[in-house]
Structure 1
Amino acid sequence: MLDDRKLNVLKAIVTDYVASREPVGSKALVERHQLNVSAATVRNDMAALEEEGYITQPHTSAGRIPTDKGYRLFVDRLAQIKPLSSAERVAITSFMNGTADIDDLIGRTVRLLAQLTRQVAIVQYPVVQRDEIRHLDLVPLTTERLLVIVVSSSGRVDQTIVDGPVLAEPQLGSLRLRLAAAVVGKSTVDAAAALAGFLEGVAPADRAVAAPTVAAVLEAIAAKPATQVLVAGVPNLAGAEFEQNLRPLLEALEEQVILMRLLGEAAGDDVTIRIGQENTTQGFHSTSLIATGYGSDLQASLGVVGPTRMDYPSTIAAVRAVARYVSRFLNEG
């Protein structure tokens, strides 16, 4: 176990390296941090930290940089998470206000996370276990075009245009009422089952025209988001020090299965932090992941991926704050 003095030296090295991207020397530590010890003592502490694998010297005559093990100890010993500034809190509220539906919410969330952290943000669509149909409407646009609208309790809005002859009133009104009675208030599974024999109750003369509308409602009920995980902020990797590891990382960020696995390991109320080689997922060995669960059942996750040299206190605070905001939005919706 490291004593408090060596922990303070390690903390100072991590803080300076994250800020400057330059290896840190003993003279700089003494000048910038109130360590209350001599430069010689700091050099001895740095030698001990290097021997135990917490820091390393990238090349001869250079200062020291943290290792994955050093970052891990730094994160584990964080006394407190840096609180968000009032400007950051206002930014979250204003950016997320006016969210229209679940697709808009997830899109705003992933962009906000990337902006707040200046890392790559990844957000999983919420896993809705008890989604119900809240509203259904049929809106005639022309005599040959009908808009089918299905709204779920998760806030998802599916709109489908059906081309072809549109039933005239009052037949269309009757179809609208009967469809709503069949599906509204039911789970998506029960609603789909309720429509299995629906056309048998439609007047034979209207079935051919009504069939595409019923099919569109079924398709909307069964619809899943086109992408299970959204990604934003990839250009933030441009200034990161991944060297030859950048291409595998970019390829991994394009694979939905890989991202689902990565976030799936972070579901839950606590913030999960994986540093460097702790990330067993291919392509992420040289990165750090900070993620947490969100939503009422915490079965979906959001987080950021970036270099191991990141501002952990601020990033943890941002991930936690955004997750809480999105959870509150979903719970109140």
Structure 2
Amino acid sequence: MSEPRKLEVLRAIVEDYVHSREPVGSKALVERHHLGVSSATIRNDMALLEEEGLIAAPHTSAGRIPTDKGYRLFVDRISAVKPLSAAERRAIHSLLEGSDDVEDILERTVRLLSQLTNQVAVVQYPHSNRAKLRHIEFVLLAPRQVLVVLIADSGKVEQRVVDAGTDVSDEDLTLLRGRFLSGISGAPLAHLPQLLAPVVALCPPSLQGTAAVLARGLDKLAESTRDERMMMAGTANLARSNVDFALSIGPVLEALEEQVVMLRLLSEMAEDPRGVTVSIGRENPYDGLSEASVVATGYGPGAAAKIGILGPTRMDYPSSMAAVRAVARYLSRILGN
């Protein structure tokens, strides 16, 4: 069997199985695909593919299904990720535009990606180890209560209420905000702890106690931006794909609930030249995902944070890869504005 025909037969088996969820036989391949050879030749080709471990017979079925190795070869031979349709691009644009709140943007993003792919969508919060301070606000809520707001250049907003320990006025807070901004505006959030003490020391002596409280509040907010977190949507899609998991969807759900597993997996996935990465079945380092595939790509500054989907190995890889890449590009553009 020539290499081109081998790939063509494998492609036909993958596409038919993804579409029908039924093992694929030689007769069906001949009827549905213009392969230019007889059914007997296709049977021989399928036998060779099975010998190479690219397809397998489930139980005693006459048909064949792709293996992880078969999916891998299929994915590797996708020469270019196809663009989304104009309607899909308009849907992405309309659903992601019109918000400045990172939390809202990420929530819209995972819901949209889940709808586009019919899989579970996951997104890491933007990495803030490179993030810088864009702005701070001190808002007086009560004579001693101050709302401290920190805004990063990634668009992420953190806030907390602190007890100033003494009565403070709006004028005092305006003065202190100016002092803090002059000392830390544009500074990397990771460096904030070292920069806050000198700012407090330069504040008027009568306000240094309040300044120290506000500095601790800013430090806590900067620390919270460094937490590794992710958001997800579409877990109900797993229930609809239950038959694709021969063992149980339980381990997959556990991996999603234990966010550290997914965060580690996403962080370790390196992009290939097509701008998107696929981890198939037992390629996933976590045993609970041995029947699942993850399609992911980076977004944002330096493409450091990841966005992707998780589903059964029987998925439409070309469409999924296109959706993940397109949504990531829109997300990067919106967060960059």
TM-score over 0.5 for the alignment? Answer: yes
String of CA shifts for 1:44-84, please: whole Å, max 9, x gaps: 22222223222111132431111112112211222443321
Q: Distance in 2 between matches of 1:305 and 1:204?
A: 56
Q: Distance in 2 between matches of 1:296 and 1:197?
A: 30
Query: Do 2:140 and 2:170's aligned partners in 1 also have CA atoms closer than 8 Å?
Result: no
String of CA shifts for 1:241-262, please: whole Å, max 9, x gaps: 1132422221122223211221
Q: Which residue of 1 aligns with 2:251?
A: 248
1:208, CA displacement in angstroms?
4.8
Q: Which residue of 2 aligns with 1:219?
A: 220
Q: Which moved more, 1:42-51 or 1:205-214?
A: 205-214
1:159, CA displacement in angstroms?
2.1
Secondary structure of residue in 2 paired with 1:138: strand
Q: How does 1:201-280 map to 2 (within 5 A)?
A: 201-203=202-204, 205-224=206-225, 227-240=228-241, 241-268=244-271, 270-280=275-285
Q: How does 1:106-121 map to 2 (within 5 A)?
A: 106-121=106-121
- Which amino acid in the other structure matches residue 187 of structure 2? K
Q: Which moved more, 1:12-21 or 1:230-239?
A: 230-239
Which residue among 318, 321, 324 is the counterpart of 2:329? Answer: 324
- Which amino acid in the other structure matches residue 107 of structure 1? E
Q: Distance in 2 between matches of 1:48 and 1:191?
A: 62
Q: Distance in 1 between matches of 2:145 and 2:128?
A: 31
Q: Which residue of 2 aligns with 1:132?
A: 132
Query: Do 1:127 and 1:300's aligned partners in 2 also have CA atoms closer than 8 Å?
Result: yes
Q: Which residue of 2 aligns with 1:296?
A: 301
Q: Distance in 1 between matches of 2:19 and 2:123?
A: 27
1:225, CA displacement in angstroms?
5.7
Secondary structure of residue in 1 paired with 2:323: helix
1:239, CA displacement in angstroms?
2.4
Shift in CA distance, 200/4, structure 1 to aligned 2, threshold 3 Å: closer
Q: Distance in 2 between matches of 1:15 and 1:321?
A: 22
Shift in CA distance, 67/184, structure 1 to aligned 2, threshold 3 Å: same
Which residue among 282, 285, 295 is the counterpart of 2:290? Answer: 285
Instruction: Give TM-score scaled by structure 1 length.
Output: 0.89
Q: Which residue of 2 aligns with 1:184?
A: 185
Query: Do 1:57 and 1:64's aligned partners in 2 also have CA atoms closer than 8 Å?
Result: yes
Structure 2: gaps (5+ residues): none
Query: Do 2:228 and 2:263's aligned partners in 1 also have CA atoms closer than 8 Å?
Result: no
- Which amino acid in the other structure matches residue 316 of structure 2? D
Of all paired residues, the percent bearing the same amino acid is 52
Q: Which residue of 1 aligns with 2:56?
A: 56
Shift in CA distance, 142/315, structure 1 to aligned 2, threshold 3 Å: same
Query: Do 1:268 and 1:294's aligned partners in 2 also have CA atoms closer than 8 Å?
Result: no
1:10, CA displacement in angstroms?
1.6
CA RMSD of aligned residues (A): 2.4
Shift in CA distance, 171/9, structure 1 to aligned 2, threshold 3 Å: closer
Instruction: Give TM-score scaled by structure 2 length.
Output: 0.88
Which residue among 302, 306, 310 is the counterpart of 1:305? Answer: 310
String of CA shifts for 1:72-105, please: whole Å, max 9, x gaps: 2211222443321111111111111123233333
Runs of 4+ with deviation above 4 angstroms:
163-166, 197-211
Secondary structure of residue in 2 paired with 1:35: coil
Q: Does 1:175 align with 2:180?
A: no
Q: Distance in 1 between matches of 2:80 and 2:190?
A: 45
